[in-house]
Amino acid sequence: MELRHLRYFIAVAEARSFRVAAERIHITQPAITRQIQDLEAEVGVALFERSSVGVALTPAGEHILKDARAVLLKLEDSVRSARNIGAGLAGSLRIGFVENVSWDGVVPDAFARFQEQAPDLQLQLVPSNSPEQIRQIVADTLDGGFVYSFDDLPPGLSLLPLQQRHAVLAVPKQWMWPADRRVSAKELRDKRFVGFPRHTYPAYYDYLLRSCHRAGLALNIVQEVTTEAAILSLVSAGIGAAIVNASNRSRPPDRVAFFEFEDLKIGIPLGFVYAQANGNPALHRFLDLLEVLRREMA
């Protein structure tokens, strides 16, 4: 039994005529008659009662008709889903992101537009720091990730540069600094700082300390925690100041004030990392969207 047998059978059942069914599906009447005879021979029972005025389904034919329609509907759904997957409009896409990149700029724009383009696709968003995202992309547990890139990528990974962000100084509001103040790094030599352990992101940790050293500042780090949210919670408590991503201004803690530096420039390059060998069509559609957003930002 082939799919054409089911299609011809449904056509005859709905038209109640071999001639009309043949005209509707654009084949000859002898051809459709022969196909129905082959189907009846395979089933082993008559599916139609023939008469001079047309055909009618037998009880066996009524039973087959219900299942035949269900089979074809299921096949059509499967073909449609396969086409959508091939076009990157269905299936799943696993994307990592550093938490603070999602508060403003290109990342929330990308997520929102992609969901508009592919509402049937399962977009799995995984917050994680940059080194952990890269490990997961290598292990193929993520399709890609928004990371801050400070060192060379493992072989087989590619980086799409997106934005150049920068660092600012976060201080407890209880210090009562004027809101329009710009800060010199050397002014901070006697201040206590909250930072993060080097193992969290060794390349960024080393870059940050080198940048401070060139500006004449040796950080007096009195507490270390692994996330910027935790760092800012300690700044809120008055434990010390911190050098953090300027993106935190989009979600400022109530007890923290942010200030630009006069003489300390810490660039934080944001990009999208993915494996070159990843064949997920949804990933390539997402990369096309990021290219569009890059041009818009430019």
Residue-wise burial string across 148-167, b where 16 or more C-beta atoms lie within 10 A, e elsewhere: bbbeebeeebeeeebbebeb
Residue 279: pLDDT band with limits 50, 70, 90:
very high
User: What pLDDT does residue 294 have?
Assistant: 93
Tell me, what CATH number does 50's domain have?
1.10.10.10
Q: How many domains does the chain have?
A: 3
The fraction of the chain above a pLDDT of 70, given in percent, is 99
Over residues 122-170, the pLDDT tens digits come to 999 999 999 999 999 999 999 999 999 998 999 999 999 999 999 999 9
First and final CA of the chain: distance in angstroms? 59
* Helix and strand numbers, DSSP H then E, in the chain: 9, 11
Residue that has been written with the tokens 């992309």 in this structure: 137
Average pLDDT over residues 192-220: 96
User: What pLDDT does residue 51 have?
Assistant: 87
Are 48 and 16 contained in the same domain?
A: yes
Are 73 and 197 contained in the same domain?
A: no
Average pLDDT across the chain, whole number: 92
Are 157 and 275 contained in the same domain?
A: yes
Over residues 230-244, the pLDDT tens digits come to 999 999 999 999 999
Tell me, what CATH number does 239's domain have?
3.40.190.10
Q: Domain residues for 187?
A: 164-268
Are 213 and 278 contained in the same domain?
A: no
Are 109 and 81 contained in the same domain?
A: no
Are 237 and 183 contained in the same domain?
A: yes
User: What pLDDT does residue 82 have?
Assistant: 76
Sequence-ordered list of residues with C-beta below 8 angstroms from that of 89, at least 6 positions apart, any chain: 117, 118, 120, 121, 282, 285
CA of residue 247 relative to chain centroid, distance: 21
The Cα–Cα gap between 132 and 122 comes to 22
Residue 48: its H or E element: strand 48-51
User: What pLDDT does residue 148 have?
Assistant: 96
Residue that has been written with the tokens 């997402």 in this structure: 286
User: What pLDDT does residue 278 have?
Assistant: 96
Residue that has been written with the tokens 């050293």 in this structure: 213
pLDDT for residue 290 is more than 80: yes
Instruction: Give the domain-ending residue among 86, 106, 127.
Output: 86
Are 123 and 102 contained in the same domain?
A: yes
93 in Cβ contact with 123 (< 8 Å): yes
Token pair for 72:
């074809």
User: What pLDDT does residue 90 have?
Assistant: 65
Instruction: Give the domain-ending residue among 86, 116, 137.
Output: 86
Are 172 and 260 contained in the same domain?
A: yes
68 in Cβ contact with 6 (< 8 Å): yes
Are 278 and 143 contained in the same domain?
A: yes
pLDDT for residue 205 is more than 90: yes
Are 59 and 145 contained in the same domain?
A: no
User: What pLDDT does residue 139 have?
Assistant: 97
Helix 106-117, helix 281-297: angle, nearest 10: 130
Q: How far is CA 186 from CA 179, 213, 262, in A?
A: 19, 10, 10
Are 81 and 143 contained in the same domain?
A: no
Are 187 and 71 contained in the same domain?
A: no
Average pLDDT over residues 26-38: 91
195 in Cβ contact with 224 (< 8 Å): yes
Question: What radius of gyration, in Å, describes the C-alpha atoms of the chain?
Answer: 32
Residue that has been written with the tokens 């082959």 in this structure: 38
Reported pTM: 0.74
pLDDT for residue 80 is more than 90: no
49 in Cβ contact with 56 (< 8 Å): yes
Instruction: Give the domain-ending residue among 52, 86, 120.
Output: 86
The fraction of the chain above a pLDDT of 90, given in percent, is 70
